[in-house]
């Protein structure tokens, strides 16, 4: 796809209204043209590399702060609620803005939006690095989350445009491995930086990588666009407000109680606003999310699987990173290395899962992955105690990590395979938004249990 490569695709085949627009054959021809133009080996290599960098940065910052939580608690005098917000501020805005990121790519060009997201993420990282209070850190994490919300859905959009369908599973497997690397590297990078430098460098490291990736994307990636010539502003506002209501309720519940007025208002108001979003999308001229996609088995199933996977994964990670340090007495670096057997599995297994999904389909790997993840975490919970040896925890963590690896790759593959080529960003953004909302609920559920039964007073009270 040389030059600007604007797609100019019709929205006809997605059910978007386009009175007097091109015919179905025109749309098919244009889709074929955009696909074939993007399939040069040169562009595929650069696209995969730069998209992988974007997803690495976005996923790394979901978990990298977790290892630094005890240090942040001491240095910034943060209580449990503020500690949760250092993670949830990022996840909350990430969840609410993901569909916006995909829509911006459609409207202004995928490459242009991707570069803008990388630069915004880098600026937010620099601001986090110089924060002197927990309140300031939380605010700047919001800026990071906005940048990541643009970057992440567009990584799959870029890959989907660049790779033909017969090679897409393997490419998404590599993308999933890098995403897994971001999750795996989070505890290790966070632990090493906290122990040998300072927590500020967790964020400084993002800046040169993000800026370099943005510069290379401008010069190496072709420009593509989606089928929506204008932003669905009412849809953006309704989707963001509905997601915010649900996520806010989940974040606040551990500290103020699930029965408090603000939590109840979020849990009731969020779904009501989302219902308004779905009603609007049915009559919008250029809907940001074609509702017909939810009638497709692969798309609907992948999003349900993502929701439960992420509740389990990030809720567990939030406490396990602290467990190794506060409950079992390891340093930040020692904790990060020990968690690596769990978080590194996607990096090792996701490429294999991608290749297998091209051969046997997504469903068997999804089902097997969920079973392994649940079994591993259940085993971990059964054996943990203040005196448990690390060797006892290794195998449960490995089993859970293999399960996560199977699901990561197959969910992404199923989502983008369920829609038209030019709607890959919308599909990826929807799936990522579901996952981030689940992350917020996962941390909230686990935080609520901890607030009721545990404390930071001692190793024994923490494990309890």
CA distance linking residue 228 with residue 16, whole number of Å = 9
**pLDDT tens for each residue of 235-293:** 878 887 887 888 788 777 777 777 888 888 988 998 899 889 888 888 877 777 777 77
- pLDDT, one tens digit per residue, over 369-392 is 899 999 999 999 899 888 888 889
Average pLDDT over residues 337-365: 77
From the number of C-beta atoms within 10 Å of its C-beta (0-12, 13-18, 19+), residue 327 rates as buried
315, HSE (Cβ side, Cα atoms, 13 Å): 25
pLDDT computed for residue 215 by the predictor: 92
Tokens of 31: 């889709």
pLDDT band at 350 (very low <50, low <70, confident <90, very high): confident
- d(CA 79, CA 74) in angstroms, rounded, equals 9
* Non-local CB neighbours of 389 within 8 Å, separated by 6+ positions: none
CA distance 19 to 283: 14
In whole angstroms, what is the distance from residue 140 CA to residue 146 CA?
10
Q: Which residues of 78-113 are buried (b: 16+ CB within 10 A; e: fewer)?
A: bebbbbbbbbbbbbbbbbbbbbbbbbbbbbebbbbb
- pLDDT computed for residue 22 by the predictor: 38
- pTM, two decimals, is 0.67
How far is 143 from 160, CA to CA, in rounded Å? Answer: 27
């Amino acid at each position: 796809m040389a030059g600007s490569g604007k797609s100019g695709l019709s929205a006809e085949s997605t059910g978007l209204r386009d009175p007097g627009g091109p015919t179905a054959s025109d749309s098919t021809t244009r889709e074929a043209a955009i696909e074939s133009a993007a399939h040069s080996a040169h562009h595929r290599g650069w696209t995969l590399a730069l998209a992988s960098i974007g997803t690495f940065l976005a996923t790394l910052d979901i978990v990298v702060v977790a290892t630094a939580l005890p240090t942040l608690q001491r240095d910034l005098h943060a209580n449990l609620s503020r500690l949760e917000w250092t993670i949830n501020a990022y996840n909350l805005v990430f969840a609410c803005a993901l569909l916006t990121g995909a829509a911006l790519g459609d409207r202004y060009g995928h490459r242009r939006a991707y570069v803008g997201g990388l630069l915004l993420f880098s600026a937010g990282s620099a601001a986090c690095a110089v924060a002197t209070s927990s309140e300031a850190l939380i605010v700047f994490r919001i800026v990071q989350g906005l940048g990541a919300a643009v970057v992440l859905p567009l990584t799959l959009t870029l890959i989907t445009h660049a790779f033909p369908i017969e090679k897409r599973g393997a490419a998404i497997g590599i993308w999933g491995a890098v995403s897994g690397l971001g999750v795996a590297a989070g505890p290790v990078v966070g632990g090493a930086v906290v122990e040998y430098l300072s927590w500020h460098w967790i964020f400084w490291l993002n800046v040169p990588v993000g800026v370099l990736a943005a510069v290379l994307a401008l010069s190496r990636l072709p420009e593509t666009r989606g089928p929506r010539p204008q932003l669905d502003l009412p849809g953006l506002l309704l989707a963001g407000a509905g997601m915010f209501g649900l996520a806010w309720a989940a974040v606040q519940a551990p500290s103020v109680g699930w029965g408090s007025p603000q939590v109840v208002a979020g849990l009731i108001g969020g779904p009501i606003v989302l219902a308004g979003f779905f009603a609007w999308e049915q009559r919008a001229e250029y809907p940001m999310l074609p509702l017909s996609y939810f009638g497709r088995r692969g798309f609907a199933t992948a999003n349900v699987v993502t929701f439960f996977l992420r509740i389990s994964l990030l809720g567990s990670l939030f406490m396990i990173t602290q467990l190794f340090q506060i409950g079992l007495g390891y340093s930040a670096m020692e904790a990060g290395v020990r968690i690596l057997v769990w978080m590194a599995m996607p990096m090792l297994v996701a490429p294999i899962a991608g290749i297998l999904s091209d051969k046997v389909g997504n469903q068997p790997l999804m089902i097997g992955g969920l079973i392994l993840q649940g079994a591993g975490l259940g085993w971990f919970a059964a054996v943990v105690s203040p005196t448990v040896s690390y060797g006892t925890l290794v195998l449960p963590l490995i089993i859970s990590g293999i399960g996560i690896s199977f699901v990561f790759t197959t969910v992404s593959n199923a989502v983008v395979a369920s829609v038209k080529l030019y709607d890959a960003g919308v599909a990826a953004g929807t799936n990522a938004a579901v996952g981030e909302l689940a992350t917020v609920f996962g941390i909230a559920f686990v935080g609520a249990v901890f607030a009721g039964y545990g404390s930071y007073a001692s190793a024994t009270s923490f494990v309890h």
